Structure 1
Amino acid sequence: MLKRYPVKVRTPKGEKIYSAEFQTSPKYARAWRKVLERCYKKAILYCCCPGRGEKKLYIRYVSDTDTYIVARYPGTGREHARDCVYYQAESSSGAITRTDARGIIEETSSGLIRVKTVIGIRKRDTVPKRSEERTERKSKPRGTGLRVVRRKPAISLLNLVYLLWERAGLNRWHPNMEGKRNINTVYALLENAAGKVMAGREVLSRVLLIGTQSRFQENLNRQKLEYAEKNNRRLIVLSLLEGVKGNRIFLKYSNSLPEIRIESSLWERMREEHGVVLKSKYNILVAIQTDPPVHGKNGRYFTVARDITLVPVSENWIPVNSVYELMVAEKLMREGRIFKKPLLRENQKIFSDFVLLDSLVKIMKVFDGKKGDEFRLYNSRYGSNWWYWDVIKNPDKIPSFPPRICKSGWKDQER
């Protein structure tokens, strides 16, 4: 079990050691936050575990939840004791990696991201659904003859979309973007983000097809289709949904996309999970993982959907989870606000629906069901320093947003 050790905080005024209990106990939570807030960008921290080396730490501000956390410096994971929460071994290639709380997304020191898809990109690489651990017999007769092989958890198709959206910056909005975020821009941003993601052994951009109106990008899609057919690679296809007729999925901006067929059982599952979305007037982003494409006699490629997910988006491609979130996003854009929409959730108890980047009050939450414990949790953490809309109590009127304090851009508030 990983252990949290005392931390030494060194400032120009001197040094002080804070115990593990002071860092983790709820009764000291506010006091510990004040320490981190006061020392942010002003102090050097050192872990007091019995490891080797300096074991330097730093204070990081997480704008999504308005919290301060202690993190290790890149490349220092091996300095800590093996039972320390900051310990991190090197990968087999020698590159230092950082894995998120769920273990799904791994980031190397060079900025490359590694993920494992539920359905492998190479057709022979199908991953069993329950594959976090397996026991297998060793080939050599030494020891017990058994070993446990820990497998990397697979990322869902929805979280893969969220990962690309966050890396491409498409979950952010600034009034300067008005009129500039069209399908061709979305393609370029996603293509760049996917070029830094490894799905298994494949660079994701090589098998990512996105709807477009650009001839250059259409030609790029056709090159990817040829590559996928030749090398037996599955595709990830992204575009806006037009509809489903018979066993075919129809997409917008589809000139360079393959004809996609879908089994009735898969589409019925989508209808059960997203019935409200499909009946609404949302713009619906659809992400489809398909079999390797086949070049048909009519000159077009065709393929079969193996997994599919739907993501409602605003006119400016901001993902939302409900019509009420869409109303908030549209109002924020009309009023020229700077904000972002958090998408990838780790293990946070608090996960805001929007984060204002031009206000001291950052956290925004839409309650479209019973508030209960979640509301009390936000109140205990932020007091009056957060914004919320109780849809059940007041469904017809969105409360006024917190006042703006800067107009120069989100970097003012990202710190």
Structure 2
Amino acid sequence: MAPVFPLRPGAKGAVVTRRYRFDCVECSEDHRAFAELLGDAYSRRVRPLCLCRDPGVEMYIADVGEQLVVKRMPLTGGRHDPACPSYELPYDLSGLGPLLGSAIKLDGADGLASLKLDFALTKRAATARAATASLGAKSVKIKGKKLSLRALLHFLWHESGLTEWTANWSGRRHWWQVYHHLVDAAGHMTVRGEALSECLLIPEPFKTEDKLAIEERRSYKLRRLFQPSAGSGRLMILVGEVKDFAGARNGRQIVIRHMPGFRLHLEEETWKNVQRRFEPELKLWQSGETSHLMMIATIASGDAGILTVNEIALMSVSEQWLPIESAYERQLVERLARLRTKSVKGLRFDLSRGQPFANATLPEMKPQPVALYIVPPSADEAFEAGIKEMLVARPDLSAWIWRVADGEMPSLPLQNNSV
């Protein structure tokens, strides 16, 4: 029988405290021996088992900013018990469902998510796709075959846990946490057998005193752009927060937070397309004092060494770094952010704006989890029919629906739990 470290007598929250098995040792996360067991397991690359179910669900240990954290393996949220913090509601509530098994495949042996991308990572392939105006617009129309730029950004956000929120975290989520969780999530994804992290650049939190070291690490990362591959120039993926689209003689210079002195060139025609294609995201960013504008782009090095944008997608996020795609979602997210119970923001991935999805969920609601839907004023009969199909398909969930054309947002469940 495995050695068991019990809960401390009188430990607060003992009823819901999580338990893990490290090899043959079981321990609750609030026991004094837990930190030592966690550190030992991390050094030996042991994957702990979450004991919310028998015989346990495999997890992994991540070093998030010099703090060891037990995290669920990619796409395994449904294997956990509904009462477990690692549990996730069915993926068919969002745009993730249609991508599983085709654009995203989970390797059960190593726990990595293998991705198929709908955008180029070499200059030669990118040139052949120049007619798409470097916006990934066509990739949004695909049906579960490959990931567009936007879908990849959404998947990174989902796997990073950045879609989850509770009022207990207020004031505790900054770029430092966002960066470390994104880097950790990317470390469990592959593209054509290569680690996604090898071709992905995410700005690390900038400190003036570490400026030279940060720039050296960045230059080392960007060396990929100057290494030819079978006659083609390589591209990299950059994920970062936009600070400004500064004027230039031709087009714009993208200024990215935590990357002082670093500029990305955007051609004038591409900038016009960005303004047209991502008008909602730009307006949300410009109208909200606390919102952030996230960018994902493939970047290339020109003949003069100037870094340019090849393809780009934008995503607006709230003060809590929760993705929002409309003023209605922003209003919903702001209301949910005041709840102490956990909420999970839904993501569209590659669904078109005319297709419904659960804009958010309340997975801890009793007696049933709640899926929250927003029906925009522009919704047609097909949209309403899609909502109805989703409700019929998930009788195990309660539904909250805001038909914007009918008036103000209805009261949320657990409204008396707001702060």
Report TM bin, short chain: 0.5 to 0.7
Residue 413 of structure 2 aligns to which amino acid in structure 1? Answer: P
2:384 corresponds to which residue?
Answer: 372
Correspondent of 1:264 among 258, 264, 268 = 268
Report the 3-state secondary structure (helix = DSSP H, G, I; strand = E; otherwise coil) of the residue aligned with 1:261.
Answer: strand
Correspondent of 1:358 among 364, 370, 393 = 364
1:400 aligns with 2:415: no
1:104 corresponds to which residue?
Answer: 103
Q: Are the aligned partners of 1:249 and 1:261 in contact in 2 as well (CA < 8 Å)?
A: yes
Q: Distance in 1 between matches of 2:157 and 2:310?
A: 22
CA RMSD, aligned part only? 3.8
Q: Map 1:304-323; keep pairs closer than 5 Å.
A: 304-323=308-327
Q: Are the aligned partners of 1:221 and 1:256 in contact in 2 as well (CA < 8 Å)?
A: no
- Cα offset for 1:175? 3.0
Larger radius of gyration, structure 1 or 2? 1
Kindly tell me: are residues 389 and 236 of structure 1, through their superposed partners in 2, closer, same or farther at Cα, counting changes over 3 Å? same
2:73 corresponds to which residue?
Answer: none
Shifted more, 172-181 versus 103-112: the winner is 172-181
Q: Distance in 1 between matches of 2:178 and 2:333?
A: 18
Residue 279 of structure 1 aligns to which amino acid in structure 2? Answer: K
Q: Distance in 1 between matches of 2:91 and 2:152?
A: 25
- Cα offset for 1:401? 1.3
Runs of 5+ consecutive residues of structure 2 not aligned to the other structure: 1-52, 55-77, 130-143
Q: Distance in 1 between matches of 2:307 and 2:186?
A: 22
Deviations 1:285-328 (A, max 9, x none): 111111147785xxxxx311110101111111111121111111
Kindly tell me: are residues 378 and 394 of structure 1, through their superposed partners in 2, closer, same or farther at Cα, counting changes over 3 Å? farther
1:327 aligns with 2:326: no
Report the 3-state secondary structure (helix = DSSP H, G, I; strand = E; otherwise coil) of the residue aligned with 1:351.
Answer: coil
- Cα offset for 1:163? 1.1
Q: Distance in 1 between matches of 2:300 and 2:91?
A: 42
Correspondent of 2:176 among 164, 173, 184 = 184
- Cα offset for 1:333? 0.9
Q: Map 1:9-408; keep pairs closer than 5 Å.
A: 64-65=89-90, 100-101=99-100, 103-109=102-108, 110-124=110-124, 153-211=145-203, 212-214=205-207, 215=210, 219-230=216-227, 232-244=233-245, 245-246=247-248, 247-255=251-259, 258-280=262-284, 281-282=287-288, 283-292=292-301, 302-343=306-347, 351-359=357-365, 360-369=368-377, 370=379, 372-378=384-390, 380-381=392-393, 385-395=398-408, 398-403=409-414
Runs of 5+ consecutive residues of structure 1 not aligned to the other structure: 1-40, 43-58, 69-97, 130-151, 297-301, 408-415
Deviations 1:215-248 (A, max 9, x none): 4765533321234334653121122223322323
Number of residues of Structure 1 aligned to a counterpart in Structure 2: 293
- Cα offset for 1:118? 3.0
Shifted more, 343-352 versus 306-315: the winner is 343-352
Kindly tell me: are residues 334 and 174 of structure 1, through their superposed partners in 2, closer, same or farther at Cα, counting changes over 3 Å? closer
Q: What is the TM-score when the length of structure 1 is the normalising length?
A: 0.60
Residue 213 of structure 1 aligns to which amino acid in structure 2? Answer: F
Residue 229 of structure 1 aligns to which amino acid in structure 2? Answer: F
Q: Distance in 2 between matches of 1:405 and 1:275?
A: 36
Q: Distance in 1 between matches of 2:335 and 2:375?
A: 17
Q: Distance in 2 between matches of 1:317 and 1:365?
A: 20
Deviations 1:166-221 (A, max 9, x none): 11111111333322211121111111111122223432212222233254765533
Q: Distance in 1 between matches of 2:252 and 2:347?
A: 29
Q: Distance in 2 between matches of 1:278 and 1:347?
A: 20
Q: Distance in 1 between matches of 2:90 and 2:117?
A: 28
Q: Distance in 1 between matches of 2:200 and 2:351?
A: 28
- Cα offset for 1:356? 0.5
- Cα offset for 1:268? 1.6
Deviations 1:7-41 (A, max 9, x none): xxxxxxxxxxxxxxxxxxxxxxxxxxxxxxxxxx8
Q: Distance in 2 between matches of 1:219 and 1:307?
A: 26
Q: What is the TM-score when the length of structure 2 is the normalising length?
A: 0.60
2:42 corresponds to which residue?
Answer: none
Q: Are the aligned partners of 1:313 and 1:319 in contact in 2 as well (CA < 8 Å)?
A: yes
Shifted more, 157-166 versus 102-111: the winner is 102-111
Q: Distance in 2 between matches of 1:157 and 1:329?
A: 24
Q: Distance in 2 between matches of 1:315 and 1:403?
A: 22
Higher relative contact order (CA 8 A, sep 6+): 2
Q: Distance in 2 between matches of 1:313 and 1:293?
A: 31
Deviations 1:352-410 (A, max 9, x none): 11011231341101112236324443554568931121211114xx2221138999xxx
Moved over 3 A (4+): 59-68, 98-102, 122-129, 214-220, 230-233, 292-296, 344-350, 374-384, 404-407
Report the 3-state secondary structure (helix = DSSP H, G, I; strand = E; otherwise coil) of the residue aligned with 2:183.
Answer: helix
